[in-house]
């Protein structure tokens, strides 16, 4: 959009080249992406640092949980043990396990260490959000979107979790940046497109639902009115990436029964579709969706007015139409990014279990961008600049209680307390005693995972119920003797620690109820018990040997 003097709303002269020494015509790069105003590198780095810090601070406090146990235990396997496991289960996470394997070899498997790559990824993603928003809709949108992204509940949750979602978020952000940069400049060189295709393949292998972004990029290319050669190059790059990732996608499909449990979860409701994927609290969700709807409605109104030749404030037009030629509308980019993966997963979930709110983590950048557009659109429509900081601060403030809650010791899924279990055992147990773990929960909630995740706390104890360690199987978990049958294994022990899940955590209360009586029949009595958040420790002793 340009005014009568031939200058667009961001001060870039259109229609004639830059002239050296002429202050009215700044130096404009040749490509459309390069022509768009950006943020200084130091500002992008600052946003990246803030994004990293918000996720990393306190990440060592919450106990590790079942999905993280799968990550860490798989990554701690030898390469010879990991590959057969992936042929049976969790091929969809295989690349992440391999990356985490290397990371643990270098930096260890402490809670902070295994979650640190996710925090780093969120920092990288934050810088990308700031860059993308600024390039396509101006600095105000870029800065607000990045600031909200830093504290968005889904982002800060994944930024402190040893899973692949944070890395996927970062990859999707920069894939989108790269796609727009290449397509808008009509890049003809082969290697940039090869690099883009390789990065897309990597992202698809890391998280197979990234393959849905083929349709997102198709919509973006349509909005950019990309020429036919560019469409061919983009199609070949995306198609090649998909072909490279295809074996993992096929194996993951064959292992789909491992997510069959999603069918029993009630995520297909307003909370599961519009709150849980990004916000975690209703106040933030209502505020954000209100701003998103406002931004979309104003954008449609602006488009209609322009089509009818009606006068529209130039700053409002600039929000929805980039000044640099061939760049897409940020509203279109973010809308496609947010809605296409979600709608496709929702439709697919009608056929077979596919959907969990966390699977939309990679759309988190899109939702903050849409909120930022809504904030700026409202302020420019009513011509009240002061609304921008007020609305932005309101969104950020609504996010902060969730950020704080995520840093509690039992903040992870289900309120696991294995870190607390490990600390209690380390403090109370003595060398030469035995430990027996409840096996009457689903595998990802079994208390014995405390031993695998915090092994240093259990070094004094004998794990008498272990039959086959997890890394000698082609599955995720240890093979063990049922807890109720364990008294036969402790004839030589005076003290046994029995670690049971609380009733709300067990899925076989009848079997669990047999454990303590079995030890009592073997001559043990309860000499101490420690009630924790999701676990109870029983110290069972009997007469002197």
Burial classification of residue 492, based on how many CB atoms lie within 10 Å of its CB (0-12 exposed, 13-18 middle, 19 or more buried): exposed
pLDDT at residue 443 is higher than 90: no
Q: Residue 535 is inside which H or E element, if any?
A: strand 535-541
Comparing CA positions, the residue from 417, 415, 407 lying closest to residue 532 is 417
- Contact call for residues 417 and 446 (beta carbons, < 8 A): no
pLDDT the model gives residue 506: 83
Classified as helix, coil or strand, 12 is: coil
446 backbone dihedrals φ, ψ, rounded to 5°? -65, 130
- Alpha helices in 31-110, H assignment, sequence order: 32-35, 41-56, 66-75, 79-86, 94-107
pLDDT at residue 519 is higher than 50: yes
Report how far apart, in Å, the C-alpha atoms of 7 and of each of 2, 11, 306, 314 are.
Answer: 5, 6, 18, 11
Q: What is the pLDDT of residues 166-222, one digit of tens each?
A: 999 999 999 999 999 999 999 999 999 999 999 999 999 999 999 999 999 999 999
Reported residue count of the chain is 545
Distance between CA atoms of 539 and 239, rounded to whole angstroms? 59
| Mean of pLDDT values over 13-41 | 54
pTM of the shown model: 0.90
Distance between CA atoms of 416 and 409, rounded to whole angstroms? 9
Distance between CA atoms of 507 and 504, rounded to whole angstroms? 8
Q: What is the pLDDT of residues 48-57, one digit of tens each?
A: 999 999 999 9
Write the Ramachandran bin of 90: left for phi over 0, alpha for psi from -120 to 50, otherwise beta. left
Mean pLDDT of the chain: 89
Q: What is the pLDDT of residues 64-79, one digit of tens each?
A: 999 999 999 999 999 9
- Contact call for residues 163 and 203 (beta carbons, < 8 A): no
Helix axes 364-381, 139-151, angle to 10 degrees: 130
pLDDT the model gives residue 75: 97
pLDDT the model gives residue 269: 86
Please list, in sequence order, all residues whose beta carbon lies within 8 angstroms of the beta carbon of residue 378, skipping any fewer than 6 positions away: 291, 294, 295, 298, 387, 391
pLDDT tier for residue 355 given thresholds of 50, 70 and 90: confident
pLDDT at residue 12 is higher than 70: no
């Amino acid at each position: 959009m340009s005014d009568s003097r031939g200058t667009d709303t961001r001060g870039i002269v259109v229609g004639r080249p830059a002239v050296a020494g002429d202050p009215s015509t700044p130096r404009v790069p040749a490509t459309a992406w390069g022509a768009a105003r950006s943020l200084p590198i130091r500002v992008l780095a600052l946003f990246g640092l803030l994004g990293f810090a918000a996720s990393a601070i306190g990440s060592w406090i919450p106990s590790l949980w079942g999905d993280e146990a799968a990550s860490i235990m798989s990554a701690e396997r030898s390469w010879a043990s990991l590959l057969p496991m992936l042929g049976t289960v969790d091929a969809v996470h295989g690349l992440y396990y391999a990356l985490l394997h290397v990371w643990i070899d270098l930096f260890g498997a402490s809670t902070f260490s295994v979650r640190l790559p996710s925090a780093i990824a969120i920092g990288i993603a934050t810088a990308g959000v700031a860059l993308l928003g600024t390039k396509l809709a101006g600095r105000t949108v870029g800065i607000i979107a990045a600031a909200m992204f830093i504290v968005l509940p889904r982002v800060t949750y994944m930024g402190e979790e040893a899973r692949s979602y944070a890395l996927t978020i970062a990859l999707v952000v920069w894939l989108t940046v790269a796609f727009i940069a290449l397509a808008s400049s009509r890049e003809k060189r082969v290697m940039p497109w090869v690099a883009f295709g390789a990065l897309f393949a990597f992202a698809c292998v890391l998280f197979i639902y990234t393959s849905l972004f083929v349709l997102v990029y198709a919509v973006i290319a349509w909005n950019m009115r990309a020429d036919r050669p560019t469409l061919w190059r983009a199609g070949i790059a995306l198609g090649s990436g998909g072909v490279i990732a295809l074996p993992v996608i096929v194996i993951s499909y064959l292992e789909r029964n491992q997510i069959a449990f999603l069918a029993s979860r009630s995520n297909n409701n307003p909370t599961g579709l519009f709150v849980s994927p990004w916000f975690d609290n209703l106040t933030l969700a209502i505020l954000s969706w209100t701003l998103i709807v406002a931004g979309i409605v104003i954008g449609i109104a602006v488009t209609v007015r322009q089509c009818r030749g009606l006068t529209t404030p130039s700053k409002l037009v600039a929000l929805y139409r980039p000044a640099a030629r061939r760049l897409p509308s940020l509203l279109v980019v973010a809308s496609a990014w947010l809605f296409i993966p979600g709608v496709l997963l929702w439709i697919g979930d009608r056929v077979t279990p596919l959907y969990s709110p966390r699977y939309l983590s990679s759309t988190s950048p899109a939702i903050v961008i849409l909120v930022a557009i809504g904030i700026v659109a409202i302020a420019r429509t009513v011509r009240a600049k002061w609304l921008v900081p007020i609305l932005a601060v309101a969104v950020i403030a609504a996010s902060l209680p969730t950020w704080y809650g995520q840093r509690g010791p039992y903040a992870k899924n289900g309120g696991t307390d294995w870190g607390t279990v490990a600390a209690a055992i380390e403090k109370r147990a003595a060398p030469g005693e035995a430990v027996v773990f409840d096996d009457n929960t689903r595998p990802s909630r079994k208390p014995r995972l405390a031993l695998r995740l915090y092994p240093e706390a259990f070094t004094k104890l004998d794990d008498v119920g272990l039959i086959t360690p997890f890394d000698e199987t082609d599955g995720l978990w240890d093979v063990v003797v049922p807890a109720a049958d364990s008294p036969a294994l402790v004839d030589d022990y005076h003290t046994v620690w029995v670690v049971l899940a609380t009733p709300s955590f067990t899925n076989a209360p009848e079997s669990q109820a047999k454990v303590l009586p079995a030890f009592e029949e073997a001559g043990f009595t309860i000499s101490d018990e420690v009630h924790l958040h999701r676990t109870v420790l029983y110290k069972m002793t009997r007469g002197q040997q």
